Amino acid sequence: MKVLMFGWEFPPFKSGGLGTACYDLTKGLSAIGTNVTFVMPHASDKEQAEFVKLVGTSNLSKNIKIKSVNTVLTPYMTADQYHDKIQSLNGTSNSKEVYGKNLYEEVERFSLIAPHVAKEQDHDLIHVHDWMTYKAGILAREKTGKPLVAHIHATEFDRTGGNPNPFISHREYEGLNAADIVIANSNYTKDNVIQAYDIDPEKIKVVHWGIDPENPHYDLNYSSALSDADKLVLFLGRITIQKGPEYFIEAAKKVTEHVDNVKFVVAGGGDMLPAMIDKANELGIGDKVIFSGWLKGADVHKAFQMADLYVMPSVSEPFGLVALESMKNNTPILISKQSGASEVIKNALKTNFWDVDEMANKIVNTLKYDSLYQDLKENSYKEAQKFNLIEPARKTLDIYHEAVGGLKNG
């Protein structure tokens, strides 16, 4: 099975979960002997330094060829981040149209190159990741006639809290419709796709993510003066509407009314960061909430390891790989029920994202009762070991066979 894969980012050219997901998937596929050629936009060294979390690619086997397309694209994952980036480059623009137009151009350029790459690269199947690459996949298929598998890691509805950018959601709709098979990373995402785009449920397969067990940072067991002095509750991710940071701050306020020695760490950046800083101050817990900005590499793991509890209050989380990362770092988790992760993780505290009281209730008890904290920690760590890269890769390979077989028979 030779796979031609179109992606938007790949370590070290990555900014978010999509890059990790593509890296993990191709690593898993490679381990079970599947050849993948990964096509992605090229990024300059300057961009890499600012955005990229470095994960060594040296231990990838030769089954994966990284093919860079010569465009001026920078690595980004969402329209929001692209917007941030454009703003920081141009300094002034606030208009969504500006970034929309630029983004459109970049995606278009990538798409137009796709058929040429497809012609050069021998393959049995085309696999595309999220809306940026869907058109590339469609055009490549037109050229080669190979089956198209469209992976959906997050819908535009997830990212925007239900206010999609019409251009992006249209691209999603086209790609998902055109695909022979759609892979969703959770039943939660599958349901969202059916609801938003009326895609035939029969052709949507669910492959839950695993996590790479080989990461040297997991065993750091890091602590610091901060974590020695106080209990720490961590939020880590983009500070955007999708991730529900305001619910975290509101819960934090309630927790401080029950627990004295506690600090809240908000790690990450995003358009809601200034509002969240204001909110913490308004609620009178400015001294209890630490905004750390984006963390990179080992620092991410250190943050998990310092924390007593990781909270993922996402409003809509297609999967939430970060929850597994926390468990791997031996830090128990509280996650929203509006997440794919909550479908597969058992040893976790779970609440609805909007239920701030329940969130505070669970945080307070975890901080106050060592028995709960220890049992949760021990069992979630144990459970995290069940997740790996082979299982999702095997399921994906089965889907490849089905797609290729389906095309031959049909």
Partner 1 sequence: MVSICFYFQVHQPMRLRNYTIFDIGKKEDYFDDEKNLEICRKITRKCYLPMNKLLLDLINKYNGKFKISFSISGVALEQFETYAPEVLESFKALAKTGQVEFLSETYYHSLSYLYSKDEFKEQVEMHKKKIKKLFKQTPKVFRNTELIYNNEMANYVEKLGYTGILAEGWDKILGWRSPNFLYKPKGTKNMKVMLKNYRLSDDIAFRFSNKGWNEWPLSVDKFSKWLNAANGDGNLVNLFMDYETFGEHQWEDTGIFNFMQQLPEELLSHKDNEFVTVSEALKKYDTVGELDCHQMLSWADLERDLSAWLGNRMQQDSIKRLYDLEKDVKATKDKELIEKWRKLTTSDHFYYMCVKYFSDGDVHKYFSPYDNPYDSFIIFSNVMNDLIIRVKELNKPKKRSKDVATTAITEQTRT
End-to-end CA gap in the chain: 19
90 versus 385: smaller Cβ distance to partner 1? 385
**CB 337 → partner 1: shortest distance, Å?**
9
324 versus 364: smaller Cβ distance to partner 1? 364
**CB 359 → partner 1: shortest distance, Å?**
10
Distances (CA, A) of 334 to 228, 235, 257, 295: 21, 10, 19, 20
Alpha helices (H) in 145-272, listed in sequence order? 156-160, 166-178, 187-197, 225-229, 245-256
**CB 219 → partner 1: shortest distance, Å?**
23
Q: Provide the b/e sequence for 202-228 (b: ≥16 CB within 10 Å).
A: ebbbbbbbbbbeeeebbeeebeeeebe
**CB 364 → partner 1: shortest distance, Å?**
5
**CB 206 → partner 1: shortest distance, Å?**
18
For 178, the token pair is 């055109």
**CB 234 → partner 1: shortest distance, Å?**
18
69 versus 360: smaller Cβ distance to partner 1? 360
Q: Give residues with Cβ within 8 angstroms of 188, minimum separation 6.
A: 317, 318, 338, 339, 340, 343
> 234 - beta bridge partners?
265, 310
232 versus 363: smaller Cβ distance to partner 1? 363
d(CA 284, CA 253) in angstroms, rounded, equals 8
268 versus 340: smaller Cβ distance to partner 1? 340
Per CB under 8 A, residues contacting partner 1 are: 258, 346-347, 349-350, 357-358, 360-362, 364-365, 369-372, 374-376, 379, 382-383
299 versus 383: smaller Cβ distance to partner 1? 383
